C-alpha cells in the first residue's frame, strides 16, 4: 500500500479539531455540526457530523473492535502498522516526515509532533484549512493529580495512566507540548490561523476563543 496524497477538499475553510481533553464537554458542539470537523481518536463517536477520523496509534485502532467500521466519514492515519493490513481498505495512510511543525512539501506526509492531536493540524492544512480551531486540547492533568479516577479525557475509553512510584497521574504533556512552538512558527509562515477554544487550556501559545464567537463569523 502506498501513501495517500491528501486532497485539498476544503479550500479556505475553518476546520474544527476535536481532541480528548475534558474541556470539550463544556462546548455546545451543535454549533459546529454544519462546519468542517476532524475528530482525533475517540471523537469520531460523537456523531456523523464529524467529517474525518484521524489517529496515529495502531493500538487505539485495534481497540475499536470493528466499531469504527460503522463510521461513515473519512478515516486517515499516520500509523505505519495500520497500512500493512490490506483488510483495512477504508483507512487512508500517510507517512510521517519532519518530527515537529507542519509538513508543507508533500501531501503524502505530515509532521507527527509527538501526538495525534497536534499532527491533525497538518492534516487540516493539507485539506485546505485557512483557520483551525482546537477543542478539547487541554494539555494538562486535572487538578487532583493524586486521584486515580480523575477525569483525564471527555470520555472513559482510556484508563488514566498511574505513576506508582510518585502516587500521581502520569504526565505526558511535557512531551506533547514540545513541538507546539514550531507548529506556531510554521503556521504563521504558511498563513494558517490557529485558535484554541479549550477552556482552561495550558496551550496558551495561540489566541483563546469561544466556539460561539468563531461560529458567528462563519
Q: Where are the domains of the chain?
A: 13-216
pLDDT of residue 12: 98
For residue 25, the cross-strand partners are none
Residue-averaged pLDDT of the chain: 88
**Long-range Cβ contacts of 157-163 (<8 Å, 24+ apart):** 157/42, 157/63, 158/20
Residue listed under C-alpha cell 485502532? 61
**41-98 confidence digits (pLDDT tens):** 999 999 999 999 999 988 888 888 778 889 999 999 999 766 555 556 689 999 999 9
Q: How confident is the model at residue 164 (pLDDT cuts 50, 70, 90)?
A: low
Relative orientation angle of helices 116-127 and 180-190, to the nearest 10 degrees: 10
pLDDT of residue 159: 67
User: How far apart are alpha carbons 117 and 121 in whole angstroms?
Assistant: 7
Q: Give the pTM.
A: 0.91
Q: How confident is the model at residue 148 (pLDDT cuts 50, 70, 90)?
A: low
Q: List the grid coordinates of 110.
A: 505530515
3-state secondary structure of 76: strand
pLDDT at 162 over 70: no
Amino acid at each position: 500500500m502506498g501513501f495517500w496524497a491528501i486532497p485539498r477538499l476544503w479550500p479556505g475553510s475553518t476546520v474544527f479539531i476535536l481532541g480528548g481533553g475534558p474541556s470539550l464537554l463544556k462546548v455546545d458542539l451543535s454549533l459546529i455540526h454544519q462546519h468542517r470537523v476532524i475528530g482525533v481518536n475517540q471523537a469520531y463517536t460523537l456523531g456523523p457530523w464529524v467529517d474525518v477520523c484521524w489517529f496515529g496509534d495502531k493500538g487505539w485502532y485495534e481497540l475499536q473492535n470493528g466499531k469504527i467500521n460503522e463510521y461513515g466519514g473519512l478515516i486517515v492515519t499516520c500509523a505505519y502498522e495500520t497500512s500493512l493490513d490490506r483488510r483495512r481498505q477504508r483507512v487512508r495512510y500517510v507517512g510521517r516526515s519532519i518530527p515537529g511543525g507542519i509538513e508543507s512539501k508533500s501531501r503524502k506526509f505530515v509532521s507527527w509532533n509527538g501526538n495525534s492531536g497536534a499532527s491533525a493540524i497538518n492534516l487540516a492544512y493539507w485539506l485546505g484549512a485557512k483557520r483551525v480551531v482546537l477543542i478539547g486540547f487541554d494539555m494538562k492533568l486535572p487538578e487532583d493529580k493524586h486521584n486515580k479516577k480523575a477525569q483525564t479525557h471527555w470520555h472513559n475509553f482510556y484508563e488514566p495512566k498511574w505513576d506508582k512510584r510518585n502516587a500521581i497521574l502520569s504526565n505526558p504533556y511535557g512531551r506533547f507540548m514540545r513541538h507546539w512552538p514550531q507548529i506556531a512558527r510554521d503556521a504563521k509562515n504558511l498563513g494558517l490561523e490557529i485558535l484554541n477554544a479549550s477552556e482552561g487550556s495550558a496551550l496558551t501559545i495561540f489566541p483563546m476563543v469561544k466556539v460561539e464567537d468563531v461560529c458567528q463569523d462563519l
